[in-house]
């Protein structure tokens, strides 16, 4: 079989399964190889592989046969060069890692039966890196962290459920895995199950198909600690919500701990049933705030310490981490990605990681998190840097320790924003444009002779983004 043949079979399948199904399930399949009667496809996630295998496996085989390809078996694999996404793995591994057969979902070898036999707990695998030890605590996440710690002690259930919410990449999944790891090691007697809401739905739909709803119910009602990640996923999916609600109530009634995460507060999840939203709010609801500069710097420093082993001898110039913490203010995942890239690049070229190297190497990442600099931001940064009050930045004081930074802020405003001199003057407490012009000239002169000023300017400029 060739890619062309598969292309034609795909067109047939499009007619057979309809556009929506096609786009979601058939289009992502990439023909990989046909050997000894086994036709293998690459899939982006195990979830898709399993779903396709179960729901479209027979149809695909038939259409292949019609195109002259007789496949005894078809297999779906996530190519090994792709990083595994634990969140996307189908509930195949029991929480104690006895088995992970979800790598290959083959049809028609009844994978469902095999999975069910192997996995007595419906959880998803945990990420080894996501522990409390590797979680950096700062103001924005300290409450969530403290609540997670408490739950991880596995003592009396004091708030049920624990509901963690916050934007993408702020550490929700990390905290949940950390709870699971700790419970597994301290309280091996407890049945701890972690899975995403998507996996919950998938298990449920599968149970419906196979008349296994009784087992499904029993299985979920027998756990001691249930964690469901990204619960916003089940919004609008009525029967899944219904089942989730019953599972939830049954466990709460038995005083079993439940931990839920979502990307927003329970009341703000659209299409989530009222009664579910209100039950979700009946325990402790804590949010993870967007990271601040200190937390980002802390996380970077922590990561650098971890990298030291893998990249011995790699030197990072002072200011690089600060620069990154300032410039990448989106989510922690992006921050981590940037650092990984930087280390790989630095070790490849065998050079100290300087600000220049950082800017070269991360140009695209930095551009993506680029935003327009305002005069106010410049004033704030400069004031911060020189430990002076914002009010003095725009006030009348003329002492050198205040006037000089003010001039630098004017200079930076001229160079980093598109504001005109009169506009800049107005933002500095209604000063005249000639004052700004004078400041710009003065700093230009000083820059040439005073290293400290030149360095400060450069640092500030980079922070504010060149």
What is the binding site for ligand ADP (CB under 6 A)?
A: 130, 134-136, 141, 166, 168-174, 299, 332-333, 336
In the complex, the smallest distance separating the C-beta of residue 230 from Mg ion, rounded to whole angstroms, is 6
Q: Binds 353, which of Mg ion, ligand ADP, none (CB < 5 to 8 A, cut-off by type)?
A: none
Rounded Cα distance between 202 and 51, Å, is: 8
Which is closer to ligand ADP, CB of 9 or CB of 164? 164
Beta-carbon neighbour count of residue 445 at 10 Å? 10
Q: Binds 141, which of ligand ADP, Mg ion, none (CB < 5 to 8 A, cut-off by type)?
A: ligand ADP
Interaction site with Mg ion (CB under 5 A): 172-173
Q: Which residue is nearest to ligand ADP (CB)?
A: 171
Q: Binds 174, which of Mg ion, ligand ADP, none (CB < 5 to 8 A, cut-off by type)?
A: ligand ADP
Which is closer to Mg ion, CB of 53 or CB of 261? 261
- Burial string for 300-321 (b: 16+ CB within 10 Å, else e) reads beebbeebeeeeeebebeebbb
Q: Which residue is nearest to Mg ion (CB)?
A: 173
Which is closer to ligand ADP, CB of 226 or CB of 409? 226
In the complex, the smallest distance separating the C-beta of residue 80 from ligand ADP, rounded to whole angstroms, is 21
Rounded Cα distance between 119 and 96, Å, is: 10
Which is closer to ligand ADP, CB of 166 or CB of 266? 166
Beta-carbon neighbour count of residue 355 at 10 Å? 17
What residues contact 121, with CB distance under 8 A and at least 6 apart? 94, 95, 96, 191, 193, 219, 223
**Backbone angles phi and psi of 107, in degrees to 5:** -130, 145
Of 227, 192, 189, 215, which is closest to residue 94 (Cα–Cα)? Answer: 192
In the complex, the smallest distance separating the C-beta of residue 169 from Mg ion, rounded to whole angstroms, is 8
Measured in whole angstroms, the distance separating CA 399 from the mean position of its chain's CA atoms is 48
Which is closer to Mg ion, CB of 166 or CB of 346? 166
Q: Binds 363, which of Mg ion, ligand ADP, none (CB < 5 to 8 A, cut-off by type)?
A: none
Which is closer to Mg ion, CB of 269 or CB of 460? 269
Beta-carbon neighbour count of residue 68 at 10 Å? 9
In the complex, the smallest distance separating the C-beta of residue 381 from Mg ion, rounded to whole angstroms, is 32
In the complex, the smallest distance separating the C-beta of residue 458 from ligand ADP, rounded to whole angstroms, is 30
In this structure, which long-range contacts are made by residues 401-404, counting pairs with CB atoms below 8 Å and at least 24 apart in sequence? Answer: none
In the complex, the smallest distance separating the C-beta of residue 288 from Mg ion, rounded to whole angstroms, is 11
Cβ atoms of 143 and 286 closer than 8 Å:
yes
The residue to which tokens 């009396």 are assigned: 156
Strand pairing of 30-35 and 38-42? antiparallel
In the complex, the smallest distance separating the C-beta of residue 85 from Mg ion, rounded to whole angstroms, is 10
Which is closer to ligand ADP, CB of 141 or CB of 206? 141
């Amino acid at each position: 079989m060739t890619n062309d043949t598969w292309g034609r079979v795909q067109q047939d399948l499009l007619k057979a399964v309809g556009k929506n199904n096609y786009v979601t399930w058939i289009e992502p399949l990439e023909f990989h190889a046909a050997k000894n009667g086994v036709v293998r496809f690459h899939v982006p996630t195990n979830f898709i592989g399993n779903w396709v295998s179960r729901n479209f496996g027979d149809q695909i085989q038939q259409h292949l046969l019609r195109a002259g390809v007789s496949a005894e078996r078809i297999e779906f694999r996530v190519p090994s060069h792709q990083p595994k996404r634990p969140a996307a793995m189908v509930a195949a591994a029991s929480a104690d890692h006895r088995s992970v057969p979800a790598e290959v979902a083959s049809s028609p070898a009844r994978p469902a039966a095999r999975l069910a036999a192997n996995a007595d707990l419906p959880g998803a695998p945990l990420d080894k890196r996501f522990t409390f030890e590797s979680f950096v605590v700062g103001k924005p996440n300290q409450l969530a962290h403290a609540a997670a710690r408490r739950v991880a002690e596995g003592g009396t259930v004091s708030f049920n459920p624990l509901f963690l919410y916050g934007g993408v990449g702020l550490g929700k999944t990390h905290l949940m895995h950390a709870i699971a790891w700790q419970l597994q090691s301290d309280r091996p007697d407890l049945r701890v199950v972690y899975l995403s809401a998507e996996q919950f739905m998938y298990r449920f739909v599968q149970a419906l198909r196979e008349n296994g709803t009784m087992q499904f119910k029993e299985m979920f009602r027998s756990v001691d600690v249930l964690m469901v990640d990204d619960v916003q996923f089940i919004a609008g999916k009525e029967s899944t919500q219904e089942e989730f609600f019953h599972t939830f109530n049954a466990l709460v009634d038995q005083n079993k701990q439940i931990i839920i995460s979502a990307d927003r507060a329970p009341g703000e999840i659209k299409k989530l049933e009222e009664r579910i939203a209100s039950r979700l709010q009946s325990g402790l609801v804590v949010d993870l705030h967007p990271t601040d500069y200190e937390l980002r710097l802390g996380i970077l420093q922590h990561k650098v310490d971890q990298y030291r082993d893998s990249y011995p001898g790699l030197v990072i110039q002072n200011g690089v981490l600060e620069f990154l913490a300032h410039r990448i203010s989106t989510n922690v995942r992006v921050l981590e990605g940037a650092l990984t890239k930087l280390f790989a690049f630095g070790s490849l070229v065998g050079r100290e990681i300087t600000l220049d190297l950082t800017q070269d190497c991360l140009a695209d990442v930095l551009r993506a998190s680029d935003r327009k600099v305002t005069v106010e931001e410049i004033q704030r940064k400069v004031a911060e840097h020189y430990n002076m009050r914002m009010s003095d930045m725009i006030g009348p004081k003329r002492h050198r320790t205040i006037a000089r930074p003010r001039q630098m802020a004017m200079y930076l405003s001229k160079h980093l924003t598109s504001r005109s001199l009169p506009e800049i003057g107005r933002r500095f407490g209604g000063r005249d444009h000639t004052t700004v012009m004078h400041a710009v000239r003065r700093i230009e002169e000083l820059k040439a002779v005073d290293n400290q000023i030149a360095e400060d300017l450069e640092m500030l400029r980079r922070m504010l983004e060149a």
